Amino acid sequence: MVIPALPKIEDQFSTSATTVAWITSAYLIVGAVASPVFGKLGDRYGKKKIYLLAIAFYSLAVLIAGFSTNIYMLIFARAIQGLGFAVFPIAIAIITDLFPRERVAWAQSILSATLALGPALGLLIGAYIVQDLGWQYAFHTAFILSIILMFISIRFIQEIPSKTKERIDYLGAVFLMLAVISLLVYLTEGPSIGWFSATQFSLILTSIISFGVFIFVERRVAEPLMKLDLFRIRNIMVANISGLIAGTAMFLMFIGLTYYAQLPKPYGLGLSIIDSGLLMAPVALTMMVVGPIVGRLINSTGPKPLLIFGSIVGIIGFLLLNAFNSTNIQVLLDTVVASVGIISLMIPLVNMVAVSLPEDQRGVGIGMNTLIRSIGSSVGPVISTVFMDTYTAWIGYLFNNQYLPIASVPSSEAFHYIYLVGICLMFINLLVALLTKNYVLKQKVKTTESVV
């Protein structure tokens, strides 16, 4: 619901696109770190209790966000809202606990379909709410929905008994968050204050040192935030690298397209907020349809063919966006193709983690994968807006045969580089996908039945 409103929020608070990108990134960064922490808390105190706690944080955050008086208050509220992001990995962990191994992929695909339906409805409903009532009412509506969700969850979600008494790696969480935030602030401020100033140097140095300390801590604590030894398992390594790339590519595309749809011609499509929401909604619906299909195919084909397919289709999608983007229909079809590629990457990842790890490590593994994928998702908006703030053009009008510039907007070159980065990401993912160790669960089930 927030995405169509980003250009309007930028205008209202008289700020830059890179600053507004933090409305998305703050949510995703905190969500990335909160996911494995809340996952462990769920293993320790019960998944249902922590699931409800995450919804409570979400409800509080959207309540604050709806009454924000400046961009920094809104970003702070979105950061708190990121704690609610933990509902996704906890939901996946609950499904993994409740369903038999051979049906996990099917159940996860249904969950993924609902996660696509939500954004589709959000883009449609949110566009009307933002244009007619204002962006604040997108948060007011989300608050009402979150309270309804709280009562539904209390009534219907089954409690999963706690399985572990592991400690929570708060120190690792702090240093990982510091490393990611410093890197994203560096990217955010680069176009305005220069990439090699003293301030920028201190930010990138802080990021490098913080990440180094994080690795040091993770190798020495008894129960780390990220079990780095899991990267020695080939499919865990592939799932996490592919998740990082897919998360970056998805939000790189969504944020770039949101601005492109609303920019005046010839630099964009010149659509209203409602029309841009209508343009993006079929993409989410496509993900909803493709998600269950991919989920069912995992058991028969294994994840490797799907990751290769998704990478190739993703490359084609970003190539189309770069070459054919002058009309609404062209952009819609291009985005659908790219989205099919991205969802074909994301669906197999959780299944790969769940299948590759024993039951007592699934929660940690899924949480780690969600963390890495969310870090990629937080980087995507910043990359898009860095290009949009770096490559700009002036729009204006003719007065007495003299051109008078009135506003600076992202140029066509900015979107060319955004899509070029998307192509490179999908190509790298193709190389990573080739390293996947394939498995076919359906054949294993049949073999077991024949032996019995």
* DSSP structure class, residue 400: T
Same domain, yes or no: 433 and 333 = yes
Mean pLDDT value of segment 365-394? 82
d(Cα 79, Cα 197) in Å, to the nearest integer? 28
Which residue in this structure is represented by tokens 């606990």? 97
State which of 159-168, 349-358, 391-400 shows the largest mean pLDDT: 349-358
Same domain, yes or no: 233 and 280 = yes
Same domain, yes or no: 80 and 204 = no
- The helix (H) or strand (E) run that includes residue 384 is helix 359-390
Same domain, yes or no: 185 and 278 = no
Q: What is the pLDDT of residue 151?
A: 93
Same domain, yes or no: 88 and 178 = no
- Kindly tell me if the per-residue pLDDT of 307 is higher than 90: yes
Q: Would residue 451 count as lying in a domain?
A: no
Residues composing the chain: 452
- Kindly tell me if the per-residue pLDDT of 147 is higher than 80: yes
Q: Which of 135, 138, 110, 134 is nearest to 122 (CA)?
A: 138
pLDDT confidence tier of residue 402, bands split at 50, 70 and 90: low
Same domain, yes or no: 329 and 215 = no
Long-range contacts of 70-78 (CB under 8 A, 24+ apart): 70/13, 71/9, 71/13, 71/15, 71/19, 71/20, 71/23, 74/9, 74/13, 74/23, 75/22, 75/23, 75/26, 76/26, 78/22, 78/23, 78/24, 78/26, 78/27
- Choosing from 158, 187, 220, the residue where a domain stops is 220
Q: Which two tokens stand for residue 52?
A: 């409800």
Task: Give the contacts of 390 (CB within 8 A, at least 6 positions apart).
Answer: 190, 191, 414
pLDDT confidence tier of residue 445, bands split at 50, 70 and 90: very low
165 vs 213 pLDDT, higher one: 213
Mean pLDDT of the chain: 83
> How many domains does the chain fold into?
2
- Choosing from 191, 220, 249, the residue where a domain stops is 220
Q: Would residue 452 count as lying in a domain?
A: no
For 144-148, 221-225, 255-259, which range has the lowest pLDDT when averaged over its residues?
Answer: 221-225
**pLDDT, tens digit, 9 for 90 and up, residues 317-332:** 999 999 998 899 999 9
Q: What is the pLDDT of residue 116?
A: 61
Q: What is the pLDDT of residue 290?
A: 83
Strands (E) located in 231-361: none
Predicted model pTM = 0.76
* Percentage of the residues of the chain whose pLDDT score is greater than 70: 89
pLDDT confidence tier of residue 429, bands split at 50, 70 and 90: very high
Torsion of CA 14, 19, 23, 24, to 10 degrees: 140
For 345-349, 350-354, 441-445, which range has the lowest pLDDT when averaged over its residues?
Answer: 441-445
pLDDT confidence tier of residue 448, bands split at 50, 70 and 90: very low
Which residue in this structure is represented by tokens 């998305």? 24
Task: Give the contacts of 261 (CB within 8 A, at least 6 positions apart).
Answer: 268, 269, 271, 275, 276, 279, 280, 331
194 vs 401 pLDDT, higher one: 194
Q: What is the pLDDT of residue 422?
A: 94
Task: Give the contacts of 156 (CB within 8 A, at least 6 positions apart).
Answer: none
Type of residue found at 132: D
Q: Which domain holds residue 199?
A: 170-220
pLDDT confidence tier of residue 75, bands split at 50, 70 and 90: very high
Identify the three-state secondary structure at position 131.
helix
Same domain, yes or no: 190 and 176 = yes
Q: Residue 266: is the preceding peptide bond cis (ω within 30°)?
A: yes
Same domain, yes or no: 92 and 181 = no
**pLDDT, tens digit, 9 for 90 and up, residues 171-184:** 888 888 888 888 88
Q: What is the pLDDT of residue 74?
A: 93
Which residue in this structure is represented by tokens 């602030």? 185
362 vs 368 pLDDT, higher one: 368
* Percentage of the residues of the chain whose pLDDT score is greater than 90: 28
* Strand duo 392-399 + 402-410: pairing: antiparallel
CA 304 to chain centre: 22
Burial 343-368 (b: 16+ CB within 10 A, else e): bbbbbbbbbbbbbbbeeebbbbbbbb
Type of residue found at 311: S
Q: Would residue 83 count as lying in a domain?
A: yes
Q: Would residue 188 count as lying in a domain?
A: yes
**pLDDT, tens digit, 9 for 90 and up, residues 91-137:** 877 887 778 776 776 777 677 667 666 776 777 787 788 888 888 99
- Choosing from 220, 242, 260, the residue where a domain stops is 220
CATH number of domain containing 49: 1.20.1250.20
Same domain, yes or no: 205 and 244 = no
* DSSP structure class, residue 293: H
